[in-house]
Structure 1
């Protein structure tokens, strides 16, 4: 049995869904980094980077980083073709993964919700958030433009679709008009949410299926350029 550490609604939602998708036998550890105000110091020995998700294999091996963990889960059930059904589709999956994790997630949402990681002076925080808000909107538009079919890679469901679903949920935190502005993206997300693994996962994490409510009460649209 493997062990997966997650925070509700965060990027760790991706590997959580994938484990349920392959019907894996796993133990779930939930650490709410919103309520904890970050990664608890007491768990630093497990992941010195103080980030989630964390996957611990049955032999004690610790794997960190969302894409690496998703790759391992794909290897656990190769017949599910979570990264694609041929070599080119696998390459395309990593092309999406690198951009979604390193650019959209980190440069966009990472800087918006964690401006302190990019500047020491609090005076710079609001300008960073305004810049990040515009960058996030551009990234959503880039996804919309790039999608050509029901799924992101080839003609079948992959882990990329789940990652896109996870980030789509975050758009609701910024009160973006996701359905109106991004119809192709919305179509993909609605297809993903039909899967039993998705409904099972969000129920376990105690979060809405689509409308991420973690920022309820916060006036985040004030950062809209």
Structure 2
């Protein structure tokens, strides 16, 4: 398999899941900053011009973080990265959808790409401030719904934790947003995992 990822992007979550599985895979970096996501060779892989994208061994491609995370977990049940009961799987998907489909694009993208929300540069500071306020509100909600210690689900570590990791990483990194106590504990627990350390080292080398 081959993971197409963006340095510093949400795709670090899929990267660390692949490391958790311990299966052979390759990586290729693409970026919105240098325009490589819009080049013909990558658009042939993912016409959506975004990351992550996973080129599977059969030559087919999966896109969208929640779908890739779910497929990897279900394809390797021995890794126990998703609960086997229906309720547990549903709760995992619920977290993936919220973190990747609401928190990321609504709160964090406003801070990274204010131009997507306001064409006038004079409006960008307002957009960034709005994104920060939204992110802090989302983090407070997440903090109150963490069911495990330190993981999101009471049943233990899952692919949903990989999604929270990339959001927390943005907070403590470029955005400078303070993490609530439970999320901070989650972030430290994630950083202690060897698979996470390998993924981060590979992307920052």
Provide TM-score, normalisation by structure 2.
0.91
**Aligned alpha-carbon RMSD (Å):** 1.7
Q: Which residue of 1 aligns with 2:11?
A: 12
SS at match of 1:157: coil
Give the length in aligned residue pairs: 202
1:166 is the counterpart of 2:153: no
1:175 is the counterpart of 2:176: yes
Alpha-carbon distance between aligned partners in 2 of 1:94 and 1:148, rounded to the nearest angstrom = 15
Alpha-carbon distance between aligned partners in 1 of 2:161 and 2:131, rounded to the nearest angstrom = 23
- What residue ranges of structure 1 are gaps of 5+ in the alignment? 208-225
Alpha-carbon distance between aligned partners in 1 of 2:50 and 2:188, rounded to the nearest angstrom = 29
Superposition map of 1:95-114 within 5 A: 95-114=94-113
Q: Which residue of 1 aligns with 2:186?
A: 188
Q: CA deviation at 1:12?
A: 0.4
1:204 is the counterpart of 2:169: no
Alpha-carbon distance between aligned partners in 2 of 1:38 and 1:135, rounded to the nearest angstrom = 30
SS at match of 2:37: coil
Q: Which residue of 2 aligns with 1:62?
A: 61
- What residue ranges of structure 2 are gaps of 5+ in the alignment? none
Superposition map of 1:74-223 within 5 A: 74-150=73-149, 151-172=151-172, 173-178=174-179, 182-206=180-204
